[in-house]
Amino acid sequence: MIGRIIALLVLTAMAGLVYWQFRAQYAVLEEHDQRQRDAAAARAAQPQLDCAQAAAARFRKLGLATHAGASHRARFNAALNQCYQWIEDRRTAMGTEWRNITLYDGRGRVFASFGWHSVDGRPRENTSPYSCNVTLPSGEHRDCGSEAEFKQLTAVYMH
């Protein structure tokens, strides 16, 4: 009887040891997997970070960083494997509101441009842009007639 109790205690101790080793190895594997996931996430985020930094640099180079009506945003489009930079400038001069938007790729090529200015007495939505054109991913050049159409055509790059 005492032999069975001792055997049971030894068996329990061995089971505990095996369980402890399993948990320790599992924790090491989990930590390794988490580091791998973190590294993969950092690699995936790097193109977007680089794109944002390039857009900010272009924005400063164009002299728009100190202009209150100017803004920029960037997106690394993974489907097109390219960085796109949206630079917008709004100004008012002698009672006329001016709005310009340019979409660049990472190399500085212009993919789209929009230019509009207000006309006295005419509602904004009834004033056509003086410039509105987009180069589609297919390479086709398309003229547009409104800011809404411009945004629709450029959505493939920025969304």
pLDDT digits (tens, 9 = 90+) for 40-74: 666 677 899 999 999 999 999 999 999 899 999 99
Which domain, by its residues, includes 134?
48-158
Whether 31 is covered by a domain: the verdict is: no
Whether 9 is covered by a domain: the verdict is: no
Domain count, the chain: 1
Whether 149 is covered by a domain: the verdict is: yes
**Model confidence over 101-110: pLDDT tens digits?**
999 998 999 9
Whether 38 is covered by a domain: the verdict is: no
pTM higher than the cut 0.85:
no
117 close to 130: Cβ distance less than 8 angstroms: yes
Whether 40 is covered by a domain: the verdict is: no
Buried b vs exposed e over 13-43: b needs ≥16 C-beta within 10 Å? eeeeeeeeeeeeeeeeeeeeeeeeeeeeeee
The rounded distance, in Å, linking the Cα atoms of 49 and 28 is: 31
Q: Is the pLDDT of residue 113 over 90?
A: yes
Mean pLDDT for the stretch of residues 90-119: 94
Tell me how crowded residue 134 is: count the other CB atoms within 10 A of its CB. 22
Q: Is the pLDDT of residue 21 over 90?
A: no
Whether 132 is covered by a domain: the verdict is: yes
